[in-house]
Amino acid sequence: MRRAMSGIDGEVIVVDNNSVDGSVEMVKTKFPEVIVIENTKNAGFSKANNQGMCIAKGEYVLLLNPDTLVEEDTFVKCLSFMEAHADAGGLGIKMLDGKGKFLPESKRGLPSPWVAFYKIFGFSKLFPKSRKFGRYHLGFLDKDKTHEIEILSGAYMFLRKEALKKTGLLDEDYFMYGEDIDLSYRIVKAGYKNYYYPEARIIHYKGESTKRTSINYVFIFYRAMIIFAEKHFSNKNAWLFSLLINIAIYIRAVIALSARFIKHSLLPVADGALIYSGMFFAKNWWETHIKLESSYYPPEYMLFIVPGYILIWLSSVYFSGGYDKPVKFFRIVRGLVVGTLVISSLSYFIDPYRFSRALILLGSIATLGIMLLLRLLIHFLKYKNVALGTEKRKRIVIVGNPDESKRVINLLKETNYHLQILGFVSPWKKVPQNDFFIGGIEQIKEIIAIYNIDEIIFCSKDIPAHNIIEWMTKIDNKFLEFKIVPDESNFIIGSNSKDRPGELYTVNIQLNIIQKRQIRNKRVFDLSMSILLFIFSPLLLLFIKRPSTFYKNIFNVLSGSYSWVGFTNNNEVRLPQIKKGVIHPLSNMDFDKLDVNTINKQNMLYARDYTLFADIRLLIRSIRKLG
């Protein structure tokens, strides 16, 4: 950004929507010239950008996503274009994804009802270059030529301040998505033109907070289109548009839910089918060789009892973390042991259904073998080794000078990423005569082939963004990943698909509380403790203040509105979003006498070091305050 702003009389304004990754502090420390607006909550794309535009002093305003990389001459080219085209109200440029591939949303047409229909139901994807079906992304227009277009992308909107005075700023009715369409359309209605200008380029890593494949994206994006239709189309067209959009929302939601269910249920279903088969053969063998009676067990045994065993085993393995990645042997064993104990206990108390405990024991052993063998097979097919629980180590080369390359190595060592550094590539055409480099940037294609490279990390301190983008577009390898290290930063950023948010290697603190396994454990803890507290509430009421509130809290936690333990209330803290807690890490202390730094530290320690036992310990210590 500094390089692109060189020689330009301008200012950089960063609006932070309550981030939790320490980026605000990083910007203030390393870029003191930047104007920072800190929001205490996520205000949304429109409102945050409007905050910045309201204080911007320039003749032009650029709305730029943070997940972008601009070339050194991008802003200069855009300024020259706008100066040469007095009718231009807005300008969009060529955007490339993290692999250097052209992003079709760089140029878009107005989403009229029929254009939206063709987009929603896939016709625009089937016939991208058709003038009839491909109008959403204007696929029939040459991506390498300048064109007058209707809709700009919110990732890069270069706007004339004079036009904004006539159109107004972004419509804050849109929280995310759709606001760029709305403003672009208002610019055209105000008598200006929007242009697509391919001579200037950026990389857009597509690091949105909502993945395009998620249900949230479907609802947010298409609801934004409904807002646009109701605002700008006639009542008749808006009604048709809304009908199409709502149909599309539910179709896409069903598809997304089905795909997610199938993806997450494949392994448990395979486990269940194989375990059932194993139990069937074990039962037959036991009847034939031990009981000496072919029909010793009734039909209900295989119809109801064994499926019940399997459900308990799989549920126990799930809650033990046996389906989490990477696969951990002890999690599976722990889950099966607990499940077997539950089955044995139930069969002891339910006399009519008390079948052979030997079969339960044999079944649990067979289940363990089946689950491990299945995971070993899947792992071998994917990684070509049997080191269960480990993933393939990415083979990486770093392009940069020795000092910067070593800095990147130290940065990677402080992360949890499984990487294998194959060597270093000189950023200069003339490779220095030493043993540090395995080759030069001009030999990068040969290096990729010889060393079977999975990922290239470019050091932007040594290589201009223009050259990085050129190399990304030249290297035609769909399996290769690219990352970029911004100068003086502690981040290595990149994205390999327009449908995935950008990956991030960072030395920032890792918060245990947002791990998938811990989120599940916390919810199970909340549910189980709510039931136990309700059962023992007659005794607990002797100690708990405000009994009525205590019962209310139990039902709030059961419904998912609250958690038993949450963060200490403090608006100044940037922390991940979890449910509000009945109690917090400092419940046993005189809260009014604590300073902000102590509160912040305790919240961060709770988030960083969270375990299930932390909640148990806090709940026991604060039992009197559960009401």
Separation CA 513–CA 525 (nearest Å): 14
- Do 401 and 271 sit in the same domain of this protein? no
Does an H or E element contain 13, and which? strand 13-17
Separation CA 60–CA 51 (nearest Å): 16
Please give the structure tokens belonging to residue 132: 């009839």
- Do 472 and 516 sit in the same domain of this protein? no
The yes-or-no verdict on residue 453 having pLDDT over 80 is yes
> Does any domain span residue 456?
yes
> Does any domain span residue 217?
no
Among 458, 474, 506, where does a domain finish? 506
- Do 157 and 23 sit in the same domain of this protein? yes
Residue 354 banded pLDDT, cuts 50, 70, 90: low
The yes-or-no verdict on residue 210 having pLDDT over 50 is no
- Do 553 and 488 sit in the same domain of this protein? no
Separation CA 409–CA 573 (nearest Å): 31
Residues 217-242, mean pLDDT to the nearest whole number: 69
- Do 411 and 496 sit in the same domain of this protein? yes
CB 418 within 8 A of CB 395: no
> Of 158, 204, 209, which Cα lies nearest the Cα of 184?
158
Please give the structure tokens belonging to residue 223: 């609801």
Predicted confidence (pLDDT) per residue in 491-543, tens digit: 777 754 444 434 444 444 456 777 777 888 888 888 888 898 888 888 888 88
pLDDT at 408: 85
Q: Quote the longest CA-to-CA distance of the chain.
A: 95
- Eight-class DSSP state of 579: P
Separation CA 305–CA 308 (nearest Å): 5
Predicted confidence (pLDDT) per residue in 284-325, tens digit: 888 888 888 888 888 888 998 899 999 999 999 988 888 888
Among 506, 524, 559, where does a domain finish? 506
Residue 476 makes CB contacts below 8 A (sequence gap 6+) with none
pLDDT at 500: 42
pLDDT at 20: 63
Beta bridge partners of 15: 37
pLDDT at 589: 73
Torsion of CA 285, 288, 290, 293, to 10 degrees: 140
Strands (E), 40-108: 60-64, 68-70, 88-96
> Does any domain span residue 358?
yes
pLDDT at 524: 86
The yes-or-no verdict on residue 442 having pLDDT over 50 is yes
The yes-or-no verdict on residue 207 having pLDDT over 70 is no
Separation CA 398–CA 425 (nearest Å): 6
pLDDT at 79: 95
- Do 21 and 89 sit in the same domain of this protein? yes
Number of H-type helices and E-type strands within the chain: 22, 17
pLDDT at 133: 92
- Do 603 and 482 sit in the same domain of this protein? no
CB 413 within 8 A of CB 474: no
CATH number reported for the structural domain that contains residue 411 in this entry: 3.40.50.720
- Do 87 and 67 sit in the same domain of this protein? yes
Predicted confidence (pLDDT) per residue in 558-608, tens digit: 888 888 988 877 544 556 778 888 888 887 776 666 676 677 777 777 887
pLDDT at 507: 42
> Does any domain span residue 271?
yes
Residue ranges making up the domain that contains 588: 512-625
- Do 361 and 433 sit in the same domain of this protein? no
> Does any domain span residue 131?
no
Q: Tell me, letter by letter, the H, E, C secondary structure of 229-294.
A: HHHHCCHHHHHHHHHHHHHHHHHHHHHHHHHHHHHHHHHHHHHHHHHHHHHHHHHHHHHHHHHCCC
- Do 151 and 95 sit in the same domain of this protein? yes
Neighbours of 534 (CB within 10 A): 15
Please give the structure tokens belonging to residue 481: 């990943």
Rg (CA), the chain: 29
Q: How many Å from the N-terminal Cα to the C-terminal Cα in the chain? A: 52
Q: What is the DSSP string of 344-379?
A: HHHHHH-GGG---HHHHHHHHHHHHHHHHHHHHHHH
The yes-or-no verdict on residue 221 having pLDDT over 80 is no
Strands (E), 430-502: 437-440, 455-459, 481-485, 491-494
> Does any domain span residue 236?
no
Highest mean pLDDT among 124-128, 460-464, 589-593 belongs to 124-128
> Does any domain span residue 485?
yes
pLDDT at 176: 64
Residue 462, SS3?
Answer: coil
Please give the structure tokens belonging to residue 544: 């708990």
pLDDT at 495: 57
* Mean per-residue pLDDT over the chain, rounded: 83
Separation CA 379–CA 386 (nearest Å): 7
The yes-or-no verdict on residue 150 having pLDDT over 90 is yes
CATH number reported for the structural domain that contains residue 81 in this entry: 3.90.550.10
Please tell me the total count of domains within the chain.
4
pLDDT at 243: 76
Least confident of 347-361, 449-463, 469-483, 523-537: 347-361
- H-assigned helices in 135-234: 161-167, 179-189, 215-232
Question: Tokens 């300048």 correspond to what residue?
Answer: 146
> Does any domain span residue 293?
yes
Among 487, 506, 525, where does a domain finish? 506
Residue 202 banded pLDDT, cuts 50, 70, 90: very high
pLDDT at 497: 45
Predicted confidence (pLDDT) per residue in 7-58, tens digit: 899 999 999 887 766 678 878 888 889 999 988 777 878 889 999 999 999 9
- Do 538 and 579 sit in the same domain of this protein? yes
Least confident of 73-77, 429-433, 529-533: 429-433
Highest mean pLDDT among 89-98, 458-467, 536-545 belongs to 89-98
Instruction: Output phi, psi for 64, to 5 deg.
Output: -130, 125
Please give the residue that has the higher pLDDT: either 270 or 349.
270
Please give the residue that has the higher pLDDT: either 499 or 152.
152
Q: Tell me, letter by letter, the H, E, C secondary structure of 491-548.
A: EEEECCCCCCCCEEEECCCCCHHHCHHHHHHHHHHHHHHHHHHHHCHHHHCCCCCCHH
pLDDT at 82: 95
- Do 25 and 72 sit in the same domain of this protein? yes
The yes-or-no verdict on residue 333 having pLDDT over 80 is yes
